[in-house]
Amino acid sequence: MTEVNKEFVVNGIAESLEIDINQVSITSKSSDFEEWDSLGHISIMSFLDKNFNEITERVPDFASATSVLEIINLLEKFG
């Protein structure tokens, strides 16, 4: 299991969704933001691929992740 910089992931998700970093936390869920729609999710996956060695190609579970914590847990498990 890999330790993931949670602040980096939270900030990356906020930037991917083009929302204020202070709006996103480790407990945020996709349903909390209208910006986290299908296009927003693709943007998040692009951020993850860019920063974690194309991880969404190797771990299909990212496609259905619906929270920041779920994304972090997947990164720690498979990163």
Any idea what the CATH number is for the domain that residue 71 is in?
Answer: 1.10.1200
Whether 71 is in a domain gets the answer: yes
HEC string for the chain: CCCCCHHHHHHHHHHHHCCCHHHCCCCCEHHHCCCCCHHHHHHHHHHHHHHCCCHHHHCHHHHHCCEHHHHHHHHHHHC
Range of the domain at 56: 6-78
Domain count for the chain, please give it: 1
Q: Is residue 1 part of a domain?
A: no
pLDDT tens digit sequence for 11-50: 999 999 999 999 999 999 999 999 999 999 999 999 999 9
**Can you give the pLDDT at residue 44?**
98
Instruction: Give the pLDDT of residue 11.
Output: 98
Distance CA 35, CA 28 (A): 13
Q: In the prediction, which pLDDT does 7 show?
A: 97
Cβ atoms within 10 Å of 73's Cβ, excluding its own: 15
In a domain, 10, yes or no: yes
pTM of the predicted model as reported, rounded to 2 decimal places: 0.95
The residue behind tokens 């994304």 is 71
